């Protein structure tokens, strides 16, 4: 979904959509760090995030209207598949949230037990990682906005390599944090609870989550760049790797 190259070229609707996406990206790691907050705040943030998710889809209804038109290439298939998977993860998160809620949805009297807790941990983990990849796929647009907000300063070689080096460091930290928090087990409904290591600093716990998010954002950004270059090489008669 192309929203332009910067604020000066954005329509009000596109600017609102961009603001919604950024807000969701900021709230998601806070929501994942629920062991650092009380349950009431966690549930309230969850409701706000789901409201923003609905608003995101309302602002992008044009995408649904054009889904059966135009040419489907590898990049479009990837974007669409990710949108579907992310939507399923969010729906699963909402259902499991209702089942484990002790405040916002407690009036419904739903009690899902251990299965609901495992489902909640699983769907939120999938949503967290898929949202990070989604952010990476749209990172080029975010860079364009940042450049315009900074006065349109052009990139230079030193800046480019500094950012790439930062991406490598964040990714390396993210890989370690991914294994430290056993994210793979969360993705297959192994855990029904999340625990905070008493010897682990709360600051570092939150930094771990940001690093994991950064890892998948970097993967999404460079993954889509590689895919588009591969498609272009294929169109010019070069065999894709």
- Cβ neighbours around 30 below 10 Å, total: 16
Cα separation of 64 and 239, whole Å?
33
What was the pLDDT predicted at 186? 93
Region of residue 191 (phi > 0: left; psi between -120 and 50: alpha; otherwise: beta): beta
What was the pLDDT predicted at 43? 92
- Closest to 205 in 3D by CA, of 34, 45, 28, 23: 34
What was the pLDDT predicted at 241? 37
Cβ 63 vs Cβ 87: under 8 Å: no
Burial class (CB in 10 A: 0-12, 13-18, 19+), 167: middle
Q: Residues near 102 by Cβ (< 8 Å), separated by ≥ 6?
A: 39, 43
Cα separation of 234 and 118, whole Å?
43
Cα separation of 73 and 86, whole Å?
20
What was the pLDDT predicted at 70? 83
Taken as a whole, the chain contains a residue count of 241
Predicted TM-score (pTM) of this structure: 0.84
What was the pLDDT predicted at 221? 93
What was the pLDDT predicted at 147? 63
In this structure, what token pair is assigned to residue 161? 């390599």
- Closest to 16 in 3D by CA, of 59, 48, 47: 59
Cβ 85 vs Cβ 216: under 8 Å: no
What was the pLDDT predicted at 142? 67
What was the pLDDT predicted at 19? 87
What was the pLDDT predicted at 168? 95
Report residues of the chain scoring pLDDT below 50: 1-8, 237-241
Domain boundary assignment for the chain:
7-235
Cα separation of 224 and 241, whole Å?
14
pLDDT digit string, tens, across residues 116-143 = 999 999 999 999 999 999 999 888 776 6
């Amino acid at each position: 979904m192309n929203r332009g190259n910067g604020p000066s070229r954005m329509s009000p609707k596109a600017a609102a959509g961009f603001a919604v996406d950024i807000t969701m990206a900021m709230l998601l790691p806070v929501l994942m760090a629920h062991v650092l907050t009380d349950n009431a705040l966690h549930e309230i943030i969850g409701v706000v995030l789901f409201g923003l998710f609905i608003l995101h889809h309302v602002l992008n209804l044009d995408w649904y209207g054009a889904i059966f038109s135009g040419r489907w290439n590898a990049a479009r298939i990837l974007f669409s598949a990710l949108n579907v998977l992310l939507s399923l993860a969010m729906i699963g998160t909402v259902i499991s949230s209702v089942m484990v809620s002790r405040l916002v949805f407690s009036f419904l009297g739903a009690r899902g037990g251990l299965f609901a807790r495992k489902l909640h941990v699983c769907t939120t983990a999938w949503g967290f990682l898929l949202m990070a990849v989604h952010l990476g796929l749209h990172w080029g647009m975010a860079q364009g906005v940042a450049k315009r907000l900074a006065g349109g300063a052009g990139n230079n070689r030193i800046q480019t390599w500094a950012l790439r080096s930062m991406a490598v460091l964040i990714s390396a930290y993210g890989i370690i944090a991914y294994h430290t928090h056993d994210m793979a087990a969360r993705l297959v409904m192994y855990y029904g609870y999340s625990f905070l290591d008493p010897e682990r600093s709360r600051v570092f716990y939150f930094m771990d989550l940001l690093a994991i998010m950064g890892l998948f954002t970097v993967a999404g950004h460079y993954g889509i760049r590689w895919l588009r270059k591969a498609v272009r090489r294929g169109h010019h008669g070069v065999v894709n790797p």
